[in-house]
Amino acid sequence: MQTGSLTYMATTAPGLGSIAISEISAKLPGAWIQNQMRGRILFNTDAPWGQIQELKCVDNLYLHIAWLKIGPHRNHLGDLTDDFESISLLDLPFLRRARPGSKVIINASRSGKHTFSRFEAAKAAMKGLAKAYKFTPGTVDDHEFNFRLDIVDQDALFSLKLTDSTFRFRGQRDFSKGALRPPIAHALIWLSNPKPEDTFLDPFCGSGTIVAERSLYTAQSIIGSDLSKNIVAIAKANVPDNVEIVQMDACSLTDIADESINSIVSNPPWGKQVAQGEDIGKLYMQFFQEMNRVLTKGGSAVLLTDRKSAIQAAAESTNLQCQELYTISLHGLLPVVYQIWKT
Ligand SMILES: C[S@@+](CC[C@H](N)C(=O)[O-])C[C@H]1O[C@@H](n2cnc3c(N)ncnc32)[C@H](O)[C@@H]1O
């Protein structure tokens, strides 16, 4: 679809915004980043829609329609209805099929101090759209247009959802327990700066999300390994032919030669993935020893975990350089993205 210059909103897991901005700038040359706020990035571009969908670090894409102001009290919702009545929609690409009677839904979020709920705000906005366009309220399962209203303090951002779950889940894949959402896996890959000459490994590959995302860029080799036979079978079914999946203990990477891997990206057990009584300090220590052995000099790793002391102790004992880069908000926990180097 040819769209002209438009403003889009991309959403990411909170904490991964700067990685997504780096991807937007690289994949959409000339894109202008207008604003970034907790998990939302507003950017302007004249790139065609097909090219914009090549963004892989983002969960969803929206067409940004309006940036309104809103007061904090319930009696300000009438102003919101008036504002929505005067929003101009029908000239916008993606909305040209809209007609009186179109079924629409508005999902609202709210942060800040207000005396109204997000549902009341969505209702007030819907009232304005019904007056202006004769749109009718749809349901989650039955609607033509899915709008979003994000209220942050005095600001109200209105947008149209352009992607659905098949975008962030890359169509149909089987995910194991503890699997990352593909856009989060992709953000880790993007941070690793993928290059065609890479020899790549994810030694805790689970259902293969990270290696599948890595396979979207050329590499010399891409290997995923996991201790569990069942999980290895799931990973094999999820990845394309250019990815090799093997069953292996990350603490004893027997199939991997010394100094043969220059890039590791992984999501070792953390949070609820850690079994009760499991000695995570020992697991990380032994894995770091193996990582030190298989990494080339100058090779690097990107790891996601909330086990701060285990990772720091393992890095210190192996003399690998370790830097804490981003804290992200995921499943109610705050894991950290680490970058590790072998100097
Ligand atoms: C957090 S999950 C990884 C999820 C994966 N990133 C995904 O998106 O599907 C951690 C994985 O580590 C594996 N694991 C645990 N201990 C291991 C070990 N010693 N060696 C290799 N894999 C191990 C588990 O079987 C599990 O699949």
Q: Would the CATH topology of 6-166 be identical to that of 182-341?
A: no
Strands 321-327 and 336-341: antiparallel
Contact (Cβ atoms closer than 8 angstroms) between residue 122 and residue 106:
yes
Which ligand 1 atom sits nearest the alpha carbon of residue 273?
1
Does 233 sit in the ligand 1 pocket, CB within 6 Å?
A: no
Residue 227 alpha carbon to ligand 1 centre in Å: 7
Contact (Cβ atoms closer than 8 angstroms) between residue 129 and residue 104:
yes
Does 182 sit in the ligand 1 pocket, CB within 6 Å?
A: no
Does 269 sit in the ligand 1 pocket, CB within 6 Å?
A: yes
pLDDT of res. 178: 81
- Fold of the 182-341 domain: Rossmann fold (3.40.50)
H helix runs in the chain, sequence order: 17-27, 49-52, 77-85, 118-133, 165-168, 182-191, 209-214, 229-238, 280-294, 308-318
- If one residue of 186, 188, 226 were mutated to test the ligand 1 pocket, choosing by the most ligand atoms within 8 A of its CB, it would be 226
Asked: is 6-166 a CATH 2.60.120.380 domain? The reply is no
Three-class DSSP category at 114: coil
**Distances from the Cα of 339 to the Cαs of 26, 225, 299, 321, in angstroms?**
21, 20, 11, 8
Q: Rounded to an integer, what distance in angstroms lies between the CA atom of residue 264 and that of residue 180?
A: 16
Does 135 sit in the ligand 1 pocket, CB within 6 Å?
A: no
What pTM was estimated for this model as a whole? 0.94
Three-class DSSP category at 221: strand
Does 251 sit in the ligand 1 pocket, CB within 6 Å?
A: yes
Does 259 sit in the ligand 1 pocket, CB within 6 Å?
A: no
Question: Considering only CA atoms, which residue is closest to atom 12 of ligand 1?
Answer: 204
pLDDT of res. 96: 84
pLDDT of res. 1: 56
Question: Considering only CA atoms, which residue is closest to atom 7 of ligand 1?
Answer: 179
Which ligand 1 atom sits nearest the alpha carbon of residue 202?
6
Domain ranges of the chain: 6-166, 182-341
Tens of pLDDT, residue by residue, the chain (343 residues): 556 799 999 999 999 999 999 999 999 999 999 999 889 999 999 999 999 999 999 999 999 999 999 999 999 999 999 999 999 998 888 998 889 999 999 999 999 999 999 999 999 999 999 999 999 999 999 999 999 999 999 999 999 999 999 999 998 667 777 899 999 999 999 999 999 999 999 999 999 999 999 999 999 999 999 999 999 999 999 999 999 999 999 999 999 999 999 999 999 999 877 777 789 999 999 999 999 999 999 999 999 999 999 999 999 999 999 999 999 999 899 999 999 999 9
